[in-house]
Copies of this chain bind each other. A is one copy, B any other.
Amino acid sequence: MTVEDTIGRIIEEVNRISLPGPGYTRPSYSPLETQAHAVVAREAERLGMTVSRDAASNLFARLPGRDRAAPPLHIGSHLDTVANGGAYDGQAGVAGAMALAAHFVESGETPPVDLVVTVTRAEESVWFPVSYIGSRAALGRLSAPELEARRSDTGETLAHHMRLEGGDPRAVLEGPGLPTASFIEIHIEQGPVLFDAGEPFALVSGVRGGLRYREARIEGTWAHSGGAPKASRADAVVAFADLVTALDRHWDAILADGGDLAVTFGRVDAASSEHAFAKVPGRLAFCIDIRSGEDGMLERMDAILQREIAGIEERRGVRFHMGPQSRSRPASLSAGLNRRIGEASAALDLKPRTMLSGGGHDAAAFAAAGFDSTMLFIRNWNGSHNPDEGMDEKDLALAVRALAAAFADRQADGGARLPRKAFPIEKA
């Protein structure tokens, strides 16, 4: 029961470390995130693994493989959370990775190449307006301006917080980053597809890209709710509602056409001290998150957005100030790794489907850097990024067993199917 025990212990110990609830809150590059990394370090050292940290304070716990010269297999996820997040987003992947390592140690098997449990920093981009900070830092792909991004709660820079948690921002910029290898991330699905289908886990073929305006606002005209005739109003809330319903209609039409799209207005603020029930609202702040697996779709939606905004400004007498736009490109994951894991699963009588990831994940950053990278999705319920995230640890254990089978040392079994360069880079 090494796999199950390790999973349960790591999830429990990590989640003891949190700001007050509901749910779990470990901000990116916070002392809490650092403490959570330390849980993994202790567990890895108990297993005899070699623990190291890079300049961005990402954690690596290495278990030697048969071929020490071959590119290693990185496997891991992150331990920061959104505010009031759940018990599994990030944690499940780290626990699964450690469970795989524990399986090798316990069974006495040697993995074909070095297994590197990789715990990244700052994956949840709600804290800093930068995607995949820890993994991109590990890969030598973080830029100097990004290090100046400010954390949403403290207002301090990424460089500042990185330093506080033991990192060295200057060294991050100097690179050169990890040599190209393989990366596998286990993660809860964050959607209801596997739960509804009754399937324990899936393989992920790609990660949706995103187009975001995090600091958009609408400026209207403050007025008295009883005294301002309709025609004289420039109501920021009504203008916002127009935009939401317009994009909702476009979304319906695009889905009906078979397009891939998700549109979310996650935060809406017309509740400052200036707002009151008896005042026509003169201001509203909001953010918008548009995701798609199709690169052209983000362009198309941005054009639709601008067109709708122009119409609403004209009709409602308000002004939209959309603020900076951030983007992440859709990423394709490794068909080769998916085939290998799928075949090993089949031998265990499991037939994981292959599906798209709606959320962005570190695996996309590794893929973008040329890694042979993929993900396993674990069935979950109540979505993710909320205190009620639900997952059955048995499903996670099944996925770990599928990985153990996929990376069993076939030479030890007398097989010779593993090439010298274990996981060749595959352009997706």
Q: Which residues of A contact B (CB under 8 A)?
A: 22, 82-84, 124-126, 189-193, 208, 210, 212, 214, 221-230, 232, 235, 237-238, 240-245, 248, 251-252, 255, 262, 264-271, 273-282, 284-285, 287-289, 291, 357-360, 382-386, 388
Contacts and interface: CB of A to CB of B under 8 A. Distances in A.
B228 A262 contact: yes
Given A82-B278, A268-B268, 5 more contacts: A82-B279, A230-B262, A267-B275, A278-B289, A280-B383
A157 B238 CA distance: 33
B191 A228 contact: yes
Contacts of A193: 229
B262 A278 contact: no
A223 B278 contact: no
Contact of A227 (B82, B245, B358): B358
A291 B223 CA distance: 14
Contacts of A228: 190-192, 262, 358, 383
A39 B14 CA distance: 61
B277 A214 contact: yes
A370 B23 CA distance: 57
B280 A266 contact: yes
Nearest to A264: B225
B255 A230 contact: yes
A80 to B, nearest CB: 13
16 contacts: A84-B273, A222-B383, A222-B385, A222-B386, A222-B388, A225-B266, A225-B289, A226-B360, A238-B248, A264-B277, A267-B270, A267-B277, A267-B281, A268-B284, A277-B287, A279-B385
A44 B271 CA distance: 39
Given A189-B227, A248-B238, A266 B262 contact: no
Query: Closest 10 CB pairs between A and B?
Result: A190-B227, A226-B358, A223-B383, A222-B386, A241-B244, A191-B227, A269-B271, A225-B264, A227-B358, A190-B224
A191 B280 CA distance: 11
Contacts of A84: 273-274
A259 to B, nearest CB: 11
A241 B248 contact: yes
Contacts of A358: 224-229
B281 A266 contact: yes
A274 B273 CA distance: 20
Contacts of A279: 82, 264, 266, 385-386
Given A225-B266, A277-B267, A230 B251 contact: yes
A384 B278 CA distance: 10
Contact of A224 (B212, B243, B244, B384): B384
Contacts of A208: 226
Given A222-B383, A270-B267, A245 B242 contact: yes
Contacts of A388: 222
Contacts of A229: 191-193, 262, 358
B248 A244 contact: no
Nearest to A274: B84
A216 to B, nearest CB: 10
A274 B232 contact: no
B276 A266 contact: yes
A223 B89 CA distance: 12
A84 B386 CA distance: 35
A262 B191 contact: no
Contacts of A126: 276-278
A238 B82 CA distance: 22
Given A238-B248, A274-B83, A276-B83, A224 B383 contact: yes
